Amino acid sequence: MDKGLLKENLEQIDAYLKQEGISRRDAMKMMGLGGAAMMMGSGAATEAKASSSSAKGKILIVGGGLSGVATAALLARSLDNPDITILEPNPKSVSYQPGQTLVGSGVWSKEDTVYETADFMPDGVKWIQEKAVEFNPDNNTVKTSGGKEIKYDYMVVATGLVLDYGGIAGLEEVGDVYSLDAADAAKAKKILGKNGLCSIYFAEGAADTWTQMQEFVAAAKSGKKVKGLFPEPHTAFKCGGAQKKMVNLTNARLVEAGARDNAELSFVTNGKKLFGVPEYHDSITRQMKERGVSTTFSHKLKAIDVANKVASFEKHWEEKGEWDNVLEEFAMVKKTENIDMPYDFCHLIPPQKAPKEIADSPIGSDKGWVPVNKETLQHVKYPNVFALGDVAAIPLGKTGGSARKQYKVVAENLIATMEGKKELAAKYDGYTVCPLITDIGKVMLAEFKWDPKDNSKAIAAPSFPLDPAQERWIYWLLKVYLLKPMTQYGMLSGRA
């Protein structure tokens, strides 16, 4: 990162905050960015204090992405004599996936998001570059792809999830993809990243998305009438705001080129809302309308005809059926209809699922995800097992912002378990943040958590004393210049 550019933008942030009556220090505290971001801004190294525990035990962390490495770092700082092993095959597992929307729109390059895990592995933590292939929680063992059997006393599961491109008819050849796996990327690139079809959900795909977007914009600029399609999957997926960001960034590039009038942009979702928090839903609805983006609900993506550039959806709804004299109400009848939508440019978010090794194991669930107490993040059956990040069966939990809150809860509760405590004091409150890019230079910082009165609902949880539904330039600076170093030098060191 260019230090001069960072300094210049921090000065602009200061001016903005001063106008709003907030100091940068107070703002960073409210945002929870911790010592790393403060150090980047002022040179004052403020470091979060780690408690010290003499508890002992072999800790195995399965998965060395952001969640796994951050947990290992905090545990290593919190235990007097840590014995921690990370099981992770990918040498680039901690790369900055939240930046892939910026890569896909030409704001960043792929090199801005990809870096070496070895550079961030905590001191004293053993790293085995193999994959977990078999779990035996009754005997506290895990088998690896290299034939090792690892014995543990405590285990943290942070494997992330699998991109299920093969779950869409027409993309069976792509199959399952891990975001940063080189072999998976090579397989996916045979189909994705060409002929208008692209996906930012793997690093190579993000770079190819920018190429496809440029071709789409160029076609519109030439006078051709073009269609851009942005479907969401029917499964849970990481970064619920990603497709909204992509349609907004595509719109911005079309406007920049003076070609917006020649492009039809369509956002299609399987759900019934654009966001689960009412004020964010209303704001996004207004933004889509202002930008001339059509929105279609209750449409499940079923297939992609790659050659003919057509996406097929199952439209679903309910109608009143016969009257039930006993219940004194009408029966509701489910209806479906197949809908085809042609496209010139289609940004694809694939269905997503838990890794097979997790789903088929005793630590998995019927839906694949690791079942945990959603507040303590402790496994519902095995008290010496914890899970966090994308693989955990937690509402609202599949974002980097969630993981930044979760890893602290896991570390504290794991140590409490090691110390023999019955009650686990640390609680995850469902906090999630989505820096929703609305334009190049504007972001709506959608922060939310579970409603304490009804955990099935989400409520806004803003850190700044500003309207959270308002798109702002300051949040663009936060997204583009501060969140990455905060993640690299704060979260991955267990300090933010």
Exactly one of 28, 150, 198, 239 is catalytic; name it. Answer: 239
Exactly one of 434, 436, 478, 492 is catalytic; name it. Answer: 434
Please give the torsion angle defined by the CA atoms of residues 433, 434, 439 and 441, in that order, rounded to the nearest 10 degrees: 40
DSSP assignment of 358-418 equals HHTSTTS-TTSSBPB-TTT-BBSS-TTEEE-GGGB--TT--SHHHHHHHHHHHHHHHHHHH
Closest CA to 302 of 347, 351, 247: 351
Query: What is the side-by-side order of every strand in the sheet holding 126-128?
Result: 126-128, 83-87, 58-62, 154-157, 385-387
Tokens 């004194």 locate to: 328
Active site (annotated) includes residue 239: yes
Tokens 């269609």 locate to: 227
Which helix (DSSP H) or strand (DSSP E) does residue 458 occupy? strand 454-460
Active site (annotated) includes residue 198: no
Could you give the CA distance from residue 424 to residue 194 in angstroms, rounded to a whole number?
Answer: 50
Could you give the CA distance from residue 191 to residue 188 in angstroms, rounded to a whole number?
Answer: 6
- Taking a C-beta distance cutoff of 8 angstroms, is the pair 490, 36 a contact? yes
Q: Which two tokens stand for residue 316?
A: 């679903």
Report the catalytic residues.
Answer: 239, 434
